Amino acid sequence: MRRIDWTTLDAAGRLEALARPARRSDAQVSDVVREIFDDVRTRGGVAVTDWSLKLDGAAPRRIAITPEAVAAARDALPPNATRSLRIAADNVRVFHQATRPEDTPFFETTPGVRSRLVWRPIGAAGIYVPGGTAPLFSSLLMQAIPAEVAGVRERVVVTPPARDGGVHPAMIYAAGEAGLDALWLIGGAQAVAALTFGAAFDDGEIPACDKLFGPGNAWVAEAKKQAAALPGGPAVDMPAGPSELLVIADRDADPQIAAADLLSQAEHDSDAQVILVSESRANLEAILAEVERQLQTLPRADIARASLAEGRAIRVRDMAEACEVANLYGPEHLALQAVDAERLVERISAAGAVFVGPWAAETLGDYAAGPSHVLPTDGAARTLGGITTASFMTSMSVQSVSEAGARELAPVAARLARLEGLEAHARAADLRSGS
């Protein structure tokens, strides 16, 4: 990890110190994704199949989530694994049911003029679940369950096949816990293209979806970006690319815990980025030494080491400045490992999820605490939040006006319309004013 003394940097140097890995904006990624999109738009499922065979070595496949398939998956897993999956699914469902937006009552702004806000689920949600090097069945729970709670009519879930072309039984079991009827084995930009344009295959059809969800690597993130830019294309949840974690550690933070948290994100992907911020030079060095020690025994050490090459270890003047660094970076995940961690939350304005104190491991949030772990990356946390039930819904205002209310408010609206030079607007109001 690159060591940086924040106090010596000017504004430009500080922005450079917090730059994301260059690969996330690689022109080659953008060009190849555009080629895939153009091909899928023209040739549909045939193109998706060709790209899947070329990039993943396996054709797209629909896995029906039947009681028999779920039972077989359960039998293939240790009992403690299925119990843990069920607990995680229950926690995710409880949290999202509790935070599901409700229709508001009517509010009267002028006598006889009443308005309210109502919520409706979107029609079709395209959900991307990362796989490839690791089957992230937790991401399936963190998206498909909030969509279910929201009442989405059609949930289309895609995930890359395993190296042998199959699917991990935990993915099938998680799909059963989420109440899905099918799972598509397709990955990468070609999967996002299928969700965007729709695609027909021998064993089923993927519809064009209204909104796309899910984290992924640089290719998936770019594909979502291009999908959202299409005229009439789908909406997207947020930029949710390679994982990020920023750890603020004070002089009393446990080096072993801080190092473990940094590595938990570094092992995700070589494009993942971890940042350590501390007021204490001594503890910063102790944490980095602990990172190196723990790295030696990690099964995914090569991936973690590649990620750490893009990491930063930043020394700041104090905890207030540490929070300024965090807000400037806008991390996907922010861990506050400090004595006054609760008070530091008040200083944080830009983070996808905040983990307060040494016991709040980011891993708990990744798997089982309840809130979705699908969160904004690349600084989008400065303006966007993570997935909630509301992400799978739309809100609309409903206005009800009595004759008396129209007579009261229409002259106001007509005057404002004429002030803007919109005479037809004004006349439509005049017809309600009784004048």
**Model confidence band, residue 389 (pLDDT cutoffs 50, 70, 90):** very high
Average pLDDT over residues 45-67: 95
Q: Which two tokens stand for residue 350?
A: 């830009």
> Which long-range CB contacts under 8 A does 351-356 form with residues at least 24 apart?
351/246, 351/326, 351/381, 352/376, 352/377, 352/381, 352/385, 352/386, 353/386
CB 175 within 8 A of CB 158: no
CATH superfamily placement of domain 44-237: Nitrogenase molybdenum iron protein domain (3.40.50.1980)
Lowest mean pLDDT among 16-20, 99-103, 146-150, 259-263: 16-20
Residues in CB range of 208: below 8 A, 6 or more apart: 124, 195, 196, 197, 198, 234
**Which entry of 333, 373, 408, 423 is annotated as an active-site residue?**
333
Strand partners, 117: 397
Nearest to 153 by CA among 88, 210, 196, 96: 210
- Does 25 have pLDDT greater than 80? no
**Model confidence band, residue 435 (pLDDT cutoffs 50, 70, 90):** low
Euclidean distance between CA atoms 132 and 56, whole angstroms: 9
Query: Same topology for domains 2-20+241-385 and 44-237, yes or no?
Result: yes
pLDDT per residue over 71-95, tens digit each?
Answer: 999 999 999 999 999 999 999 999 9
Model confidence, pTM: 0.90
Euclidean distance between CA atoms 324 and 326, whole angstroms: 5
Q: Catalytic site residue 267? A: no
Residues in CB range of 93: below 8 A, 6 or more apart: 145, 148, 149
Nearest to 375 by CA among 366, 367, 307: 366
**Which entry of 177, 332, 362, 373 is annotated as an active-site residue?**
332
CB 165 within 8 A of CB 175: no
**Model confidence band, residue 370 (pLDDT cutoffs 50, 70, 90):** very high
**What is the pLDDT of the chain when averaged over all its residues?**
94
Q: Catalytic site residue 333? A: yes
Q: What is the pLDDT of residue 218?
A: 81
Euclidean distance between CA atoms 7 and 30, whole angstroms: 36
Average pLDDT over residues 302-315: 94
Lowest mean pLDDT among 158-167, 169-178, 418-427: 158-167
Q: What is the pLDDT of residue 241?
A: 73
Residues in CB range of 300: below 8 A, 6 or more apart: 133, 267
- Does 132 have pLDDT greater than 80? no
**Model confidence band, residue 162 (pLDDT cutoffs 50, 70, 90):** confident
CB 138 within 8 A of CB 88: yes
Euclidean distance between CA atoms 429 and 426, whole angstroms: 5
How far are the Cα atoms of 187, 264, 275, 424 from residue 285, in angstroms, in the given order? 40, 19, 13, 70
Largest CA distance in the chain: 83
Nearest to 256 by CA among 233, 229, 288: 288
Architecture of domain 2-20+241-385: 3-Layer(aba) Sandwich (3.40)
Residues in CB range of 342: below 8 A, 6 or more apart: 356, 357
Burial of residue 397, with CB atoms counted within 10 A of its CB: 0-12 exposed, 13-18 middle, 19 or more buried? exposed
Q: Which two tokens stand for residue 392?
A: 């799978």
Domains of the chain, by residue range, sit at 2-20+241-385, 44-237, 402-433
pLDDT per residue over 398-413, tens digit each?
Answer: 999 999 999 999 999 9
